[in-house]
């Protein structure tokens, strides 16, 4: 299940936006120049996934549904930051006002529910926030798709998205007893110590 987290977070983000407004259910996940993106109201494109360096050695703690059960800790889990580009669809009439309204509804939905909680995420909470992006960087992303005309876009950060190891780390056995042994040194031996 954890190996699917990037896909599940992407779909949960799409569903959050789709639930926010009338007619926003047509959100394309994928490249900006895809033919399916032309007919969608909004396009959600994952352009970067990077390791979250602040949480890298923290271990992924999973709280079980039953409070009596112990918390599961995956020591070798990798936390990722997912960077999405959310953009409007190309307008057939040459006017972007409908697309701007759709983008505004999507921004409002993310701002109103910044914690992405979904049963498919296995109890994890993924924080959504908006990132500022310099114009040059935005231009570089759009230049990857020469067939697509530039449209107004926002960048969404989803963090942390945990990818757990396939096999959990075996828990260490608890210490039951410890033996301490001392030895007596002969007095006056050596150099006086």
Is position 10 within any domain? Answer: yes
Tokens linked to 72: 């599961």
Higher pLDDT, 61 or 161: 161
- Residue 146 domain-assigned? yes
Domain membership of residue 171 (yes or no) is no
Which residue from 157, 151, 115, 160 is spatially nearest to 43, judged by alpha carbons?
A: 151
Model-level pTM? 0.78
Q: Are 39 and 89 in contact (CB under 8 A)?
A: yes
In the structure, what pLDDT confidence band is assigned to residue 188 with cuts at 50, 70 and 90? low
Cα 133 from chain centre: 18
Stated as kind and residue range, the H or E segment containing 65 is none
Residue 95 in domain? yes
Q: Domain of 28?
A: 2-163
CA distances from 105 to 8, 20, 92, 99, 130 (A): 22, 7, 20, 10, 14
Asked if 121 contacts 9 with a C-beta cutoff of 8 angstroms, the reply is yes
**Residue 179 counted as domain residue:** no
Q: pLDDT band for 131, please (50, 70, 90 cuts).
A: very high
Does the residue 69 lie in any domain?
yes
| pLDDT tens per residue across span 143-160 | 998 888 888 899 999 999
Domain count, the chain: 1
């Amino acid at each position: 299940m954890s190996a699917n987290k990037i896909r599940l977070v992407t779909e949960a983000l799409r569903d959050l936006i789709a639930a926010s407004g009338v007619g926003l259910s047509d959100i394309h996940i994928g490249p900006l120049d895809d033919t399916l993106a032309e007919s969608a109201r909004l396009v959600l494109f994952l352009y970067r996934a990077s390791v979250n360096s602040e949480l890298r050695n923290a271990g992924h703690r999973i709280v079980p549904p039953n409070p009596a059960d112990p918390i599961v800790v995956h020591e070798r889990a990798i936390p990722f930051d997912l960077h999405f580009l959310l953009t409007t669809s190309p307008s057939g009439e040459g006017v972007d006002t409908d697309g701007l309204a759709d983008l505004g509804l999507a921004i409002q939905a993310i701002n109103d529910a910044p914690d992405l909680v979904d049963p498919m995420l296995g109890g994890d909470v993924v924080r959504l926030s908006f990132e500022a992006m310099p114009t040059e960087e935005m231009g570089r992303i759009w230049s990857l798709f020469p067939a697509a005309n530039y449209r107004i876009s926002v960048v969404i950060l989803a963090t942390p998205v945990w990818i757990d190891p396939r096999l959990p780390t075996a828990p260490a056995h608890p210490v039951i007893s410890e033996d301490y042994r001392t030895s007596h040194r002969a007095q006056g031996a050596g150099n006086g110590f």
